[in-house]
Chains A and B, each alone.
Chain A
Amino acid sequence: MPRRAPLPRLPGWLLMPSLAWLGIFFFIPLLLVLVISFAARGTYGGVEWTFSLANYATLLDPLYLTIFVRSLALALGTTAFCLLLGFPLAYYIARAPLRWQGIWLLLVMIPFWTNFLVRTYAWMFILRTEGLMNTVLMNLGLVASPVEILYTDGAILIGLVYGYLPFMVLPLYAALARLDYSLVEAAWDLYASAWNVFWRVILPLTKPGVIAGCILVFIPSLGAFITPDLLGGARTMMLGNLIQHEYLVVRDWPFGSAISFVLMALVLLGMMVYLEVDRGRGDGRRPSVW
């Protein structure tokens, strides 16, 4: 592989704008949220400046634990489905003639041109009892009565997979496009079955893309808020909705902050475990995959 010359160094002050931006609009608010998470709710909303871990203790209530577990399960399910759907698609695109690759990638990205909220409303029309899906299923005689799917966890899963599939396909495509196809042929020539070609050669060599895709899908699905709100209805809540609920409906900012921090800690913990594991196996040259 050709080695590129390193980029020339830039003077340090060019970093200042981005550091200032991140400091003022990201780091300070985050710190504020952390501080608030140890405070208590005032009688009429607002924040009472005390210090306690009560908010974090409340999270252990089975009511909230259920929401945590459901969010985790839905995010993991979304990631798994995106990977299963995205890998063959990305492989097909990466192996298509160059001109077609551009067209396929464009098709994958076109949904981004429309507002996510609008697209989620469209899913409501598709999934509801008299919706497109049930009309088709019933006309085909596959089901006798409409399937109740809207306002269930299944609907959330469908919406999340739909929404985040491009985030899986793009890094997978990038990894697969770089894969030297003669390695696939070499494995095939060396008696590997199709399964072993995938498992022993394609997957290990595209692992950075797989991991990047999983991270890009898992993190936003864990904190998803529009999709469960519209497709999940009132009965099912995910962490994103819980946070929104605490901040805007209950007006318990300290508890909302505590949930936010636990969510963030969970994601960070997962990342650190992964990086530790990967550093043990990697060649040590790459700082990390993302």
Chain B
Amino acid sequence: MGLNSVEIREVVKYHGTVIAVDHLSLEVRRGEFFSILGPSGSGKTTTLRLLAGFERPDQGEILIEGRSMREVPPNLRPVNLVFQSYALFPHLTVFGNIAFGLEMRRIARAETQSRVHAALGMVKLGSKHDRMPSQLSGGEQQRVALARALVNRPAVVLLDEPLGALDQQLRQEMQVELKAIQEQVGITFIYVTHHQEEALTMSDRVAVMDHGRVLQIGSPQDIYESPVSAFVANFIGLSNLVEGRIASMTDARCTVSVPDLPTILVRRPGGVVEGSQVTVVLRPERLSLARDVHRNGFDNTVPARIDKTIYNGSEMHYLLRLSNSALWKVRVPNSGAEQKRFLNGEAVFVRWNADEGVILSE
């Protein structure tokens, strides 16, 4: 068997006349935490349901552990799904819910007992085995749903926005815990979410989907630092997109001329030619602001005027109006020193180094 836990080959799925998944191909390695990130309607949930077996591809093929899943119904697939709504059986106790899969596979009673209790321990619910799901909090129900999948030791655990219903704080705690559990059990996780922070913090690799297609697959760092398209750049974090033309190039850098702005220095990617139109991505937190024009070693300095300020506790969010009337977002950590903050209408200089800018390859 190869390294891949899951292979999706040229899969097409229509919902009526609407194409939900459009010639999708991807490979997930064994033991990997793989996220599929996309807005609603991007086909990510359909992809998960195709893997679980609830839907069948109209074209293409899905392999799990090297075995074709064509004609294999959900109950015979080596995968378990953690539902967005948890889908805990309301008429069974926590124990009954977690033991369900083992009972269906006729695992001996003693082994079922010990595996269920081990799973309960793993999700820190050891003392609640005899509760009914309705007696649990949302976070606890989420843990039961996870344990119900893990206890079967499937080849792949599929997770459909499992943290979506939790509040922000619990969500962040669960992100850390989920990643730790995944590393401990070593099972392949395929995690579907529209929440970019979740995908970035937990995943080994992320696939960004839109309109049934994969736009980019890579490590969180690849995706954030080198987005291939404006959609990816905007969907993963905030971005300022600047349209320009490559005026000149050296080995390491490009000079991009932008109408009504000073020229911008950007790191040179592979495969660009002089004179071509390009889009430059500038992340708001990589830009800094100053009142004086001193270069201080920055490669780029552009004048702007503060249009709006938002105090967010840990950061100041500024909206800037540039001389070409574009609006840029800039985020600056709050130092607490009030005189360092900028006021509405104030004239400032935006400064950054050439390496902070990324030229989109599309």
A residues within 8 Å of B by Cβ?
180, 182-183, 185-193, 196, 200-201, 204-205, 283
Q: Find out whether the CB atom of B75 lies under 8 angstroms from the CB atom of A188.
A: yes
Candidate in B53, B54, B75 with the most chain A CB atoms within 10 angstroms:
B75
Q: Is there contact, CB below 8 Å, between A205 and B104?
A: no
Can you spell out 23 A-B residue pairs with CB atoms less than 8 angstroms apart? A180-B85, A183-B89, A183-B90, A185-B52, A185-B54, A185-B74, A186-B89, A188-B54, A188-B73, A188-B74, A189-B74, A189-B80, A190-B104, A190-B148, A190-B152, A191-B101, A191-B105, A192-B104, A196-B104, A201-B89, A205-B90, A205-B91, A283-B132
CB distance from B155 to the nearest CB of A (A): 13
Distance of A187 Cα from B87 Cα, bound (Å): 9
Interface string of B69-96 (1 = CB under 8 A from A): 0000111100111010101111100000
Interface SS of chain A: helix
Beta-carbon contact of A193 and B83 below 8 Å: no
Contact of A190 among B53, B73, B85, B101 (CB under 8 A): B101
Cβ of A258 to closest chain B Cβ, rounded Å: 43
CB nearest to A285 among chain B residues:
B134
* Cα distance A14–B100 in the bound complex, in angstroms: 50
Q: Give the Cβ gap from A288 to chain B, nearest Cβ, in Å.
A: 17
What is the CA–CA distance of A188 and B89 in the complex, to the nearest angstrom? 12
Tell me which of A180, A186, A188, A201 has the highest count of chain B C-beta atoms within 10 A of its own C-beta: A186
Chain A residues, Cβ within 8 Å of B79: 189
CA distance A192 to B83 in the complex (A): 16
Top 6 nearest A-B pairs (CB, nearest first) are: A190-B101, A191-B104, A186-B87, A182-B87, A188-B74, A192-B104
A186–B75 touching, CB < 8 Å: no
Chain B, 101-123, CB within 8 A of any chain A CB: 101, 104-105
Q: Which residues of A contact B52 (CB under 8 A)?
A: 185, 189
Say yes or no: B104 contacts A186, CB within 8 Å: no
* CA of A186 to CA of B149, assembled, Å: 10
Chain B residues at the A interface, C-beta cutoff of 8 Å: 52-54, 73-76, 79-81, 83, 85, 87-91, 100-101, 104-105, 132, 148, 152
Decide: B81 and A189 in contact? CB cutoff 8 A.
yes
Once bound together, how far apart are the Cα atoms of A188 and B74, in whole Å? 6
Task: Specify which chain A residues have a CB less than 8 angstroms from the CB of B152 in the assembled complex.
Answer: 190-191
Give the residues in chain A near B100, CB-CB below 8 Å. Answer: 187, 190, 192, 200
Complex: A193 Cα to B74 Cα, angstroms = 9
A204–B148 CA distance with the chains assembled, in angstroms: 20
State whether B87 touches A183 (Cβ < 8 A). yes
Contact in complex: A180, B87 (CB < 8 Å): yes
Q: Are A192 and B75 in contact, with the CB atoms below 8 A?
A: yes
- Complex CA gap A201/B88 in Å reads 11
Q: Is the CB of A191 within 8 A of B91?
A: no
> What is the minimal beta-carbon distance from A181 to any residue of chain B, in angstroms?
9
CA distance A126 to B148 in the complex (A): 55
Which residues of A have CB within 8 Å of B54?
A: 185, 188-189
Contact check, A191 vs B75: say whether CB atoms are below 8 A apart: yes
Given A188-B75, A189-B80, A190-B100, list of 4 further CB < 8 A pairs? A185-B81, A189-B81, A190-B152, A200-B100
Task: Give Cα A196–Cα B54 distance, bound, in whole angstroms.
Answer: 17
Q: With a CB–CB cut-off of 8 A, which chain B residues contact A185?
A: 52, 54, 74, 81, 83, 87
Which residues of the partner chain A approach B87 to less than 8 Å between Cβ atoms? 180, 182-183, 185-186
Give the residue of A182, A190, A204, A205 whose beta carbon is less than 8 angstroms from that of B80. A190
Min CB distance, B185 to chain A, in Å?
17
Judge whether B104 and A182 touch: CB under 8 Å.
Answer: no
- The CA of A196 and the CA of B101, in the complex, are separated in Å by 11
Rounded to whole Å, the gap between the CB of B147 and the closest CB of chain A is 12
Residues on B with beta carbons closer than 8 Å to the beta carbon of A193:
75, 104
Q: A4 CA to B87 CA in the complex, in Å? A: 22
Interface centre among A189, A204, A283 (most CB of B within 10 A): A189
Cβ of A178 to closest chain B Cβ, rounded Å: 11
Contacts of A180 in B (CB 8 A): 85, 87
Q: Is A182 a contact of B148 with CB atoms below 8 Å?
A: no
Contact call B85/A182, Cβ cutoff below 8 A: yes
In the complex, which residues of chain A have a beta carbon less than 8 angstroms from the beta carbon of B89? Answer: 183, 186-187, 201, 205
The distance from the CB of A54 to the nearest CB of chain B, in whole angstroms, is 50
Residues of B within 8 A of A183 (CB): 87, 89-90
A93 to B211, CA, bound (A): 32
User: B108: shortest Cβ distance to chain A, in Å?
Assistant: 15
Scoring B76, B89, B148 by chain A CB atoms within 10 A of each residue's CB, the highest score goes to B89
Min CB gap B150→A, angstroms: 12
